[in-house]
Amino acid sequence: MSLAILAADGVNVAQNVGFGIIAALMIFGALCVVSTSNVVHAALWLVIVLAGVAAQYVLAAAEFVAVSQVMVYIGAVMVLFLFGIMLTRAQIGAEEGLNNKGWQVGIPVAVVLFGLLAYVVLDAYGDDTLAEAPLTGANNEATVDIADRVLFQYLAPFFGMTFVLLAAAIGAIVLARKD
């Protein structure tokens, strides 16, 4: 995708520059997550990636999902991960043997998978543009729409998810309990 195409589409330049910076940060953080030899550092790099995802949600005009991402992932899941790391007595500092013996197999798998995905994505959505992010007024229409959808059309899946969460919470307690 060249700059000429971007300009011809009348694309919001600031949005693209912000997207690029956050995307570069996210990719670097993700590479650090899968390559660092310190488990705690991996968790902290994962925070960078998850915060970047939340920022991209804001760029894509999904404020409610962005706030949910920050609360659920950076708030709750990250604390769970840090507790998991501490309770399994990870060493402080670098650690040997975090990788499998045949870990190099992952590189060609990931590269081939990316080539396939990139080919399909460029083939199917090569010149589709995203809609200009709608301005949300004081009434916050997008969030009102989400509430309408969740509590009307998607009510049955929503109930299903609440039961999954309840079962998961009880199951986690039963599994991790010392008796």
Exactly one of 19, 25, 41, 74 binds other proteins (CB under 8 A); that residue is 19
**Smallest gap from residue 137 Cβ to other proteins (A):** 15
User: What is residue 11's three-state secondary structure?
Assistant: coil
Identity of the amino acid at 151: L
**Smallest gap from residue 138 Cβ to other proteins (A):** 18
| Contact flags string 60-99 toward other proteins, x per CB under 8 A | xxx-xx--xx--xx--xx--xx-xxx-xxxx------xxx
**Of residues 39-58, those binding other proteins (CB under 8 A):** 39, 42-43, 46, 49-50, 53, 56-57
148-171 burial, b at 16+ Cβ within 10 Å, e below that, comes to eeeeeeeeeeeeeeeeeeeeeeee
Residue 127 or 138: the one with the smaller Cβ distance to other proteins is 127
**Total residues at the site for other proteins (CB under 8 A)?**
93
Exactly one of 129, 137, 156, 179 binds other proteins (CB under 8 A); that residue is 129
**Closest Cα to residue 46, out of 86, 82, 90, 19?**
82
114: exposed, middle or buried (C-beta count within 10 Å: 0-12, 13-18, 19+)?
exposed
Ramachandran class of 115: left when φ > 0, alpha when ψ lies in -120 to 50, beta otherwise:
alpha
Exactly one of 9, 91, 140, 155 binds other proteins (CB under 8 A); that residue is 9
Residue 27 or 93: the one with the smaller Cβ distance to other proteins is 27
Is 2 near other proteins (CB under 8 A)?
no
Token code pair at residue 99: 């990788």
Exactly one of 3, 94, 121, 155 binds other proteins (CB under 8 A); that residue is 121
Is 159 near other proteins (CB under 8 A)?
no
Angle at 71 between CA 137 and CA 159, to 5 degrees: 85
Is 146 near other proteins (CB under 8 A)?
yes
